[in-house]
Chain A
Amino acid sequence: MVNVQSIKDAPGLADGRLREADHPSSQVALFGPDQPLRLDCGVDLAPFQIAYQTYGTLNADRSNAILVCHALTGDQHVANIHPVTGKPGWWETLVGPGRALDTDRYFIICSNVIGGCLGSTGPSSTNPATGKPWGLDFPVITIPDMVRAQAMLIDRLGIGTLFCVVGGSMGGMQALQWSVAYPERVFSALAIACSTRHSAQNIAFHELGRQAVMADPDWRQGRYFEQGTHPHRGLGVARMAAHITYLSDAALHRKFGRRMQDRDEPTFSFDADFQVESYLRHQGSSFVERFDANSYLYLTRAMDYFDIAADHDGVLAEAFRGTDTRFCVVSFTSDWLFPTTESRAIVHALNAGGARVSFAEIETDRGHDAFLLDVPEFLDIAGGFLQSAAAARGLPANGA
């Protein structure tokens, strides 16, 4: 038989994931039966909890709070060591002392989205009605639901207006949704590599990922925790496919080309002969260690449903009419998941709605993932935008 390799599981980590779901290594805001989260699907979710991290100090006016919204597979650990993987925070290029999102100057909040798997209520959380993980009994959630939950957290923290809402990809969707749903609570919004609606191609990629998860016999109709299995192969394949969309042809060529992995000749097998295969398998394996398969289904679904214009009679500009929020929209030349045309559509709608908007396209071959990487031009733009917004907000230059 030809040599075959597939995504490896890391036994034992399931316990860690499950522990984080109910008892995260983060601050937690609990909302009881009297404070349900009204979901777009018509369900009132209660009780529920939101896990969040904060950095820096809230000033006396409560005017320096920035909400960072994470992307599809991100979490609240934006600038600290991750409790499951032990790796640094996912946006330390942008968030930290002296960075664009300066923790010496701003109070930074990042919460795990509802439906996530790092401590905010989601399909891997325990369903209080059954004492077992929610699984597919968890209601389908939307981007507006995530934002509604964040607004309840912001209320709980006693903050009226956020100085800025920042996010890339699905986080950018949330930032835009914040500015539409709560325009008076968003002084400025920085939306990176995102869109006001998920494209047909992106829905198609998500469906591919979901089908990969559900085709894994270990998925067990979402009951894998109770049955002691883990759909690591399906989730790994979903991640591999998605990861390709986060990069670019040029970046893959630059990083790997057709180079071989630890060998000079092809093995005439389905072993990972090519570096790019090895890299993708590693991406798949490391992802399944930290992420819940059902959460992946729910969060990709939330992105698919996202369409701001549809909620405003099909006219995107109507969503932003008369807004006082200062916007900055950023795209990357090689991003084919959320291409510049999508950002341009946001900018046209914002201009038509009379909003104050900046828009920059950054030249890079690093694809959609560029927003997470050390791209100096992007970091300078984010910093410049926040500096001028801070001046307009009357925030003092050094600290609160």
Chain B
Amino acid sequence: MTALQQALPLNGQATFFDPANCRGDHLLVAEMVAPGSKVLDVGCGEGDLLQLLESRGVDGRGIELSREGVNRCVAKGLAVVQGDADTDLANYPDDAFDYVILSQTLQATRQPRVVLEHLLRIGRRAIVSFPNFGYWKMRLQLLVGGHMPRTDNLPATWYDTPNIHFCTIKDFVQLCDEINVKMERAVALDLYGRPLRLNAPWWFWNLFGEQGIFLLSRGRHRDETK
């Protein structure tokens, strides 16, 4: 029996899901989602966030690139399809979901801007989280070490990383401005997944936030032109 087969649940999702083991960023994302809403998780991995959301009465769907991830999700009873954020989001109709979530996946897409625009076309709101390349440890490694940064959360080397579009929190805020996306909530997390203090200025988050989580909605202009 392979490791994958051993990991597949045999008794359905109810017996498998334990909210106590949830990741900090997943809990924060889940808190941003109104109960009873319809959610699409793009790049849902092995479905941990979807399980957390469904345990809170959310109608969750997922897209995942890796076959192994999809098959584990489906075996858990989750409504997940194999697909690619870069190519498959175009197939979803407008306003199909209340929220579209892109958790730790933006930096791995080929066209982050197009993906972001799709998120807010398919969903009335989008929740995006990504590792902050402006984090001080990253800056230090490049400045002092002179090599591409690697951290515990991003251990891959430059030549085998799936992450091809790193950005900083500042970069992301700028992109949102450019494509007229409204930022409803923003949270920066430290290395341990704890939120930084709320009233800190952007430069502080950009330097000390290990990752950022953003609740986005369509800007006014976009709605007017519809």
Contacts and interface: CB of A to CB of B under 8 A. Distances in A.
Nearest to A384: B75
B5 A363 contact: no
B78 interface: yes
A294 B180 CA distance: 65
Interface centre among A329, A347, A380, A390 (most CB of B within 10 A): A380
B41 to A, nearest CB: 13
B77 A385 contact: yes
B92 A351 contact: yes
B19 interface: no
Given A354-B96, A381-B75, A384-B74, A391 B14 contact: yes
B13 A387 contact: yes
Interface in A312-330: 326, 328-329
Given A381-B74, A383-B75, A357 B10 contact: no
Nearest to B93: A352
Interface centre among B13, B67, B77 (most CB of A within 10 A): B77
A146 B61 CA distance: 32
B118 interface: no
A263 B147 CA distance: 64
A387 B67 CA distance: 21
A384 B81 contact: no
Given A352-B91, A377-B4, A377-B5, A388 B12 contact: yes
B225 interface: no
Nearest to A333: B67
A229 B92 CA distance: 56
A68 to B, nearest CB: 20
Interface residues of A, number: 28
Nearest to B60: A356
Interface in A262-317: none
B11 A387 contact: yes
A361 interface: yes
A259 interface: no
B70 to A, nearest CB: 5
A381 B4 CA distance: 12
A376 interface: yes
A394 B17 CA distance: 18
A2 to B, nearest CB: 49
Given A360-B74, A380-B75, A384-B9, A347 B14 contact: no
A213 interface: no
A253 B58 CA distance: 48
Main secondary structure of the interface of A (DSSP, over half): helix
A358 interface: yes
Interface residues of B, number: 30
Nearest to A390: B12
Contacts of A347: 81, 83
A351 B91 contact: yes
Interface string A326-357: 10110000000000000000011001101011
A328 B93 CA distance: 20
Interface centre among A326, A351, A357, A390 (most CB of B within 10 A): A351
Nearest to A377: B71
Contacts of B74: 328, 358-360, 381, 384-385
Contacts of A383: 10, 75
B12 A381 contact: no
B177 to A, nearest CB: 31
A357 B75 contact: no
B79 A380 contact: no
Contacts of B75: 380-381, 383-385
A357 B5 contact: no
A384 B12 contact: yes
A328 B61 CA distance: 12
A351 B5 contact: no
A362 interface: yes
Contacts of A354: 93, 96
B77 A384 contact: yes
Interface centre among A348, A381, A391 (most CB of B within 10 A): A381
B148 interface: no
Nearest to B77: A388
B8 interface: yes
Contacts of A384: 8-9, 12-13, 74-77
A305 B96 CA distance: 32
Contacts of B12: 384, 387-388, 390-391
Contacts of A362: 71
11 contacts: A326-B79, A351-B61, A351-B96, A354-B93, A357-B61, A358-B78, A358-B81, A359-B82, A381-B71, A390-B12, A391-B14
Interface of B: 4-5, 8-14, 59, 61, 67, 70-71, 73-83, 88, 91-93, 96
Given A348-B91, A360-B70, A391-B13, 16 more contacts: A328-B74, A351-B61, A351-B96, A357-B81, A359-B80, A359-B82, A361-B70, A377-B5, A377-B8, A380-B10, A384-B12, A384-B13, A384-B77, A385-B74, A387-B13, A388-B78
| 9 closest Cβ pairs, A-B complex | A388-B77, A387-B12, A384-B75, A359-B81, A358-B74, A380-B8, A348-B91, A380-B75, A360-B74
Interface of A: 326, 328-329, 347-348, 351-352, 354, 356-363, 376-377, 380-381, 383-385, 387-391
